[in-house]
Chain A
Amino acid sequence: MTTHVISLVSIGAHPTSGRPRRAEQDARAVELGLQMAGDKLQVLHAGNIHEPTLRSYLGMGLTQLHVLEQPAGSDALPVLSEYLRDAGAQVVLTGSQAETGEGSGMLPFLLAEQLGWPLVVGLAQVESIEGGVAHVLQALPRGQRRRLKVRLPFLATVDNAAPKPRQSAYGPAQRGELAAHEVEIEQDELFTGALLQPAKPRPKRLKVIKAKSGADRMKAATAKASGGGGQVLKGLSPEAGAEAILKLLIEEGVVR
């Protein structure tokens, strides 16, 4: 039995020209979905059905792409969560962050919260799905992988650690069908009401090279980032663990 997978896609923007294209990470979500579910993969977009760039997803060999029709400036979150709740999906894949629009990277988190599903960040590979539980590999920095066990249904974001998307071909892109779904339109107050301004680049920490030999520099470049005052908690009860985490979050000022 194949898994019912839905990949969420958005319209991307080319990094140098800013022109619309298939979004890099979303294309990887489609690629991963195709590897998991083959022809059964369902691809979903919330937005304008007449955007020609949508066809570049169809060019990856999809016969159909579902579009929840929305004008620009609408909130995709409620329509997506409503659709996904009834769609019967076992796995929902999405990119980590959109290349256009708000691009806050919050959508997968908010979606998972609304659906009440677990969320895997940085999914690299799905190893197996058996008896309602998936064994997946999560990508960590510097090429590390963490094996996770997740119960279905779950939501996962993919980043550049996921498999490279296949080429989009013209023929299937022209033949593929864009299936429109009418949905209730809700305006995104935050996006339309707020003022957009370009982000300032975050200041970079000066790089002080202390290494005296090539071997040291190599070590510095490849070594794991190690936090200084970390603390390994082992064999704790979930409550005690949660308490320790909360304490740290309060100390760091994340939770007030």
Chain B
Amino acid sequence: MLNTLLPILLFAALGLAVLGALRRVNMWRRGRASNVDLLGGLLAMPKRYMVDLHHVVARDKYIANTHVATALGFVLSAVLAILVHGFGLQNRVLGYALLLASVLMFVGATFVYLRRRNPPSRLSKGPWMRLPKSLMAFSVSFLLVTLPVAGVLPADFGGWLLAALLSLGVLWGVSEMFFGMTWGGPMKHAFAGALHLAWHRRAERFGGGRSTGLKPLDLSDKNAPLGVEKPKDFTWNQLLGFDACVQCGKCEAACPAFAAGQPLNPKKLIQDMVVGLAGGTDANFAGSPYPGKPIGEHSGNPHQPIVNGLVDADTLWSCTTCRACVEECPMMIEHVDAIVDMRRYLTLEKGATPNKGAEVLENLIATDNPGGFAPGGRLNWAADLNLPLLSEKSSADVLFWVGDGAFDMRNQRTLRAFVKVLKAAKVDFAVLGLEERDSGDVARRLGDEATFQLLATRNIQTLAKYSFKRIVTCDPHSFHVLKNEYSAFNGNYLVQHHSTFMAELIGDGALNLGQHKGNSVTYHDPCYLGRYNGEYEAPRQVLRALGIEVKEMQRSGFRSRCCGGGGGAPITDMPGKQRIPDMRMEDIRETGAELVAVGCPQCTAMLEGVVEPRPLIKDIAELVADALLEDATPVKAPVTREPAEVQ
């Protein structure tokens, strides 16, 4: 009886799976066109899956091993089951292979089950709680029905009752694993995930590469939508990417806005996009909600505007673009791209940048700096430093990109310290002075692509006038934009963060350094230096050269937590239960360090905004400048003055 029933079950489930797959593909195809290498992507997919994806998953050894056993066991047993039970190739060797595969899958499923007994809050519940049982049903059923094939048991063992039970088990198994895979069950992640890896919009990320610059909007194309209004305005492979989510909640656990109680949860956002692409409500979402927003009140479909139907605007504006979610995502989903795409629509079409957003954007247009300061004051911080101007020298080894920190009195201390270091190392450097403009970072993260492109093209025009070997900046945001985002507008430069440059100077012995005196030190990795550009080592190298042993925070390196200052978040200022910099300061306090070294004007401002008593905040440039040993120049006796009579 089983011999007739099993092929029917298998092929019926497979047939339905193919139908579901076609239906799903059509949902993705509602998105806009995207330039992807379809065939090359498919060919590269197995390697991307087994190497790149596995690297991310392997940060958690338990689940990595569990997944390898379950997935490998499943793929093998599915193929072998189709051969053995579907096509009736009742070969003993194949039978034994199928037995082994199903045992492997069963072992994996058992560990999935154990993880699910007391799941952490980041994991979604609902249908995902059913999955380990379905995996077990599949593996156990195929194990048992294959025993006669392998010759372990006689063919008619157990009679019709066992046969009926096994058919039910197989039915359950193939429903979840084949049918559910393309009709929206938890196994959808395998189907959509594989294709997402093949047709990822940032193929450069695979093979150890990095791709973090936002993709430009083509403003010259009058018909192209300005950002994303409806789910169908995403490119098709973005929609596919949303569908790949496994709801593991690694993003949720890493998100600073979620932890601060702001109304954002990256996992829920991606699931809302899935609701948007398929149509429906978020009532079936079985994970943590956006803080402060109950589940079940939002709905959408591909042709309905996202904001205020599917997602509220404050959710989108809570993001600091710190990329912690993208870094953690085992499916390599691009959350930040999606958020910025939707912000673009709000800013460019609706003029709905919240709070100080509109004012900052207007200032950027009218004064080239977000604060609206008179552009003529851009070099006031260096009035007494006699800085060489590139407009006078027309060429230099190093172009020192000052950034908008020039208008901020706290950051001016950092800038002056770095100039002191440059001078001590006798570097041939120059600044643009009044010709420099805001890099466009804030405008772009706030969704104002037009102002970003305006600033970028003007800066590129200015830079084209001069010759220099590299650009060095103390601001990781300018660094990222100049390095990764100007190339789309034909601005290609060698750009370095000042920590990298100082590490080089120290390595070349160009600096005569003493030791850092006093307090113990920890280091806070800026998102735009670390996760965006992979520079974790140079700042630590510089600190080591000062004789500092960095007391690392638990969240450091690629897991560093945002200070709350990125993505225009201080400008849009979404309320939460606590402030992100306060949480970061708690991380710093846990190390017991009395001083935190930073490398970013935003981080400095955010962390210094935490009420005292708290550890001191110093930029790496300040620490280096403090440790500089002056050359043995004759010391002038201090001029003694007669104390004047004070009345």
Contact = CB atoms under 8 A, between A and B. Distances in A.
Interface of A: 14, 16-17, 19, 21, 59-61, 166-172, 174
Given A166-B351, A170-B348, A17 B358 contact: no
B182 interface: no
Contacts of B374: 16-17
Interface in B343-395: 347-353, 357-358, 361-362, 365-368, 372-375
Contact of B349 (A16, A60, A166, A172): A172
Contacts of A167: 347, 351-353, 357-358, 361
Contacts of A16: 367, 372-375
A206 B353 CA distance: 43
Closest 9 CB pairs of A and B: A169-B351, A167-B351, A167-B358, A14-B366, A16-B374, A171-B349, A170-B450, A17-B367, A170-B348
Contacts of B373: 16
Nearest to A174: B222
B264 interface: no
Contact of A171 (B348, B358, B361): B348
Interface size class of B (residues with CB under 8 A): 20 to 34
B351 A21 contact: no
B325 interface: no
B351 A59 contact: yes
B448 interface: yes
13 contacts: A16-B373, A17-B366, A167-B353, A167-B357, A167-B358, A167-B361, A168-B351, A168-B362, A169-B349, A170-B348, A170-B349, A170-B449, A170-B451
B562 interface: no
Contacts of B357: 167
A172 B351 CA distance: 9
Given A16-B372, A16-B374, A59-B351, A170 B365 contact: no
B367 A14 contact: yes
Given A16-B373, A169-B352, A171-B348, 7 more contacts: A166-B351, A167-B351, A169-B349, A169-B350, A169-B351, A170-B448, A170-B451
Nearest to B347: A169
Interface of B: 222, 226, 347-353, 357-358, 361-362, 365-368, 372-375, 448-451
B305 to A, nearest CB: 14
B233 to A, nearest CB: 13
Contact of A19 (B350, B366, B448): B366
A188 to B, nearest CB: 26
Contacts of B222: 174
Nearest to B358: A167
A171 B357 CA distance: 17
A14 B375 CA distance: 11
Contact of B351 (A14, A61, A174): A61
A169 B348 contact: yes
Contacts of A59: 351
The prevalent SS among residues of A at the interface is loop
A171 B219 CA distance: 10
Contact of A60 (B351, B372, B375): B351
A16 B364 CA distance: 12
A198 to B, nearest CB: 16
B376 to A, nearest CB: 8
A21 B372 contact: no
Contacts of B347: 167, 169-170
A21 B226 contact: no
Contacts of A172: 349, 351
Given A16-B373, A167-B358, A169-B347, A21 B366 contact: yes
Contacts of A61: 351
Contacts of A19: 366-367
Contacts of A169: 347-352
B45 to A, nearest CB: 37
A23 B353 CA distance: 20
Contacts of B368: 17
A14 B367 CA distance: 8
Contacts of B353: 167
Contacts of B365: 21
Nearest to A13: B366
A17 B351 contact: no
A21 B348 contact: no
A171 B366 contact: no
Which among A21, A59, A169 has the highest number of chain B CB atoms within 10 Å?
A: A169
Contacts of A168: 351, 358, 362
Contact of B362 (A21, A170, A171, A174): A21
Contacts of A60: 351
B226 A170 contact: yes
A150 to B, nearest CB: 31
A168 B450 CA distance: 12
Nearest to B365: A21
A17 B367 CA distance: 6
A166 B361 CA distance: 13
B436 to A, nearest CB: 14
A202 B567 CA distance: 43
A60 B362 CA distance: 13
Nearest to B348: A170
B451 to A, nearest CB: 8
A246 to B, nearest CB: 46
Contacts of A14: 366-367, 372
A95 to B, nearest CB: 16
Contacts of B349: 169-172
Nearest to A175: B222
Contacts of A166: 351
Contacts of A174: 222
A166 to B, nearest CB: 6
Contacts of B366: 14, 17, 19, 21
A42 B449 CA distance: 29
A168 B361 CA distance: 10
Interface centre among B226, B351, B352, B375 (most CB of A within 10 A): B351
Given A17-B375, A21-B362, A61-B351, A171 B226 contact: yes
